[in-house]
Amino acid sequence: MPMQERFLVDVDLSTVPLFRTRCLVIGSGIAGLSAALAAAAKGSVILACKSELGESNTTYAQGGIAAALADDDTVDLHIEDTLRSGCGLCDAEAVRLMAVEGRERCGELIAMGVDFDRVDGRISFTREGAHSRRRILHADGDATGRAISRTLIGATGHNPNIHVLENHFAIDLLHGDGVCRGALFLDTRYGRYIRVEAVFTVVASGGLGQVFRETTNPAVATADGYAMCFRAGARMRDMEYIQFHPTTLYLAGAPRFLISEAARGEGALLINQAGERFMQRYSDEGELSPRDVVSQSIFRELAASGDTCVYLDLRHLDPELVARRFPTIMSVCAEYGINILEAPIPVRPAAHYMMGGVATDVNAATGVENLYAAGEAAFTGVHGANRLASNSLLEGLVFGHRAGLAEPADRGAFAPGRLRKRLPAHGAKLDIDDISRSLKSLAWRNLGAFRDEPSLVETIETLKAWSRYVLAEEFHMRPGFEIQNMLTVARLMTEAALLRTESRGAHQRTDYPETSPAWARHSSLAISDME
């Protein structure tokens, strides 16, 4: 079988230990865990993750999961809110599937033991920006993702058909002739390769926040799934659409800790250094505007004032409500000397969520046979140009489950030949930490909330120059593979941002400030476009 030389390593597969399974799932967030549990009903599953099972964006999700379960809510209202936030780029069929099936999937979470917060025995719903109803289910106040992750991990641990590989970094998909047959992994504990061959593979490897200097994402979010699928021939869609969360803790020495949008849903206010509310100057919906509007408004406010942050004020709220709903936020802020009942929280936006990704259909199938993608790594079309708050966990839950239900034809084993790099190694000695810091700064400066052609062109040329060196031998451990993936995906994001000559949702071009009817469509890039 002919081999496509689109890999990060040069290795003889016949020397690499082999595992076989019906379904391979890469990633242990809500999408990956849901896919594994669904697939396990029909056969063997290997669930692989680059760190520990619980280390994912899902675990750090605070606000909750959106579903039309409240008495005054309907699926149609949820759909309407999602489409409105998406600024004309949502796929209506995918949105309807998510809203309809999301109710059932959330019901299954409850049956599995996720203890969503309740008042007088009834589920307590909160509201977030751009939602017309209180429809956000939350758990442990502001630790919803952790509660869901804990329950799903427990379920996988009790399923005899699921075998878990922790600390296994997915280097590349095994692919050829337009078919995916598994993946090559680096066991980071022992520094050895293993290969997993599967009838079908689900990439649910999460996001790319680590491309940016300022991000809410954990260290594992290094764009690996996007890059692997791209090298395997999958098409990427809307990669210019990165969502910046409006409110992350901004203190010297503190991590960019996310301050949940649910705080504004419960009545928290945004104020500037002078103590004045400012959102009404930018949007009639004020603090409950869509995320792109709030983030861009904060950046404009900071540009006008010269300040480094604004503040989120909870001091006027009921202290009992704040303590019950936001115990994690309260505790983290207290570690840095802020009593949120008495002082406002210094905040500013940070890179948070990729709304584009690997193009899939409503069954999570990509254009590569037997390759599926779900969660943040995938583009399903449900988010459009601006994700509605708390739809991300729902999307991962629904389409991860759909991916796990796949019944593709078995195309046989991968030829045990040699994987070859596409380009020869460069002999230069490079510093991975230096490249990482430089990439993050470049992306934050030129791929942030506001873009323009000169900055985007500069970014592409810089990324091209750096990428000439990334195949050096010192890059052949996890940090090096991650850098190569982030460089690849940063290039995809920049090319897509340069293509979209308009401003829409989270993509704002200062040189094209208007929304163009001609761009009421998706951007699309494949490896053949990047030669």
Task: Write the DSSP symbol of residue 287.
Answer: G
Cβ atoms of 157 and 40 within 8 Å: the answer is no
Angle at 99 between CA 525 and CA 144, to 5 degrees: 90
**Beta carbons within 8 Å of 354's beta carbon, 6+ residues apart:** 207, 208, 226, 239, 241, 242, 243, 376
Closest by Cα among 189, 36, 47, 58 to 114? 58
What is the fold, at CATH topology level, of the domain defined by 426-523? Methane Monooxygenase Hydroxylase; Chain G, domain 1 (1.20.58)
Span 51-84, pLDDT tens digits? 999 999 899 888 899 999 999 999 999 999 999 9
State the DSSP code for 213.
S
Spatial distance between the Cα atoms of 178 and 180, rounded to a whole number of angstroms: 7
- The pLDDT assigned to 414 comes to 76
Domain parsing of the chain, residue ranges? 11-241+355-404, 244-351, 426-523
Instruction: Judge whether 11-241+355-404 and 244-351 match in fold.
Output: no
pLDDT score at 474: 57
Q: Convert the pLDDT of each residue in 211-257 to its tens digit.
A: 999 999 999 999 999 999 999 999 999 999 999 999 999 998 888 89
Which segments of 294-363 are extended strands (E)? 310-313, 345-354, 357-359
Helix and strand tally (H, E) in the chain?
A: 14, 22
Q: Supply the residues annotated as catalytic.
A: 291
Residue 391 vs residues 131, 207, 271, 384, 386: alpha-carbon distances, Å: 11, 15, 27, 12, 11
Closest Cα partner for 153 from 62, 53, 70?
53
- On the CB side of 98, CA atoms within 13 Å amount to 36
Distance between CA atoms of residues 198 and 174, nearest Å: 10
Look up the pTM and report it: 0.94
How high is the pLDDT of residue 72? 96
| Whole-Å CA distances, 98 to 340, 388, 393, 400 | 35, 12, 11, 11
Using an 8 Å Cβ cutoff, are 480 and 460 in contact? no
How far CA 241 is from CA of 7, 498, 522, in Å, comes to 26, 12, 10
Q: Which residue ranges in the chain fall short of pLDDT 70?
A: 1-5, 422-430, 470-475, 531
What the block records as the tokens of 61 is 């999700």
Q: What pLDDT, on a 0 to 100 scale, did the predictor assign at position 32?
A: 98
pLDDT tens figures, 418-439 = 787 765 445 556 688 899 999 9
Q: What is the per-residue pLDDT for 1?
A: 30
**Nearest Cα to 27, choosing from 162, 159, 165?**
165
Cα end-to-end span (Å), the chain: 24
The dotted CATH code for 11-241+355-404 is 3.50.50.60
Task: Determine whether domain 244-351 maps to CATH 3.90.700.10.
Answer: yes
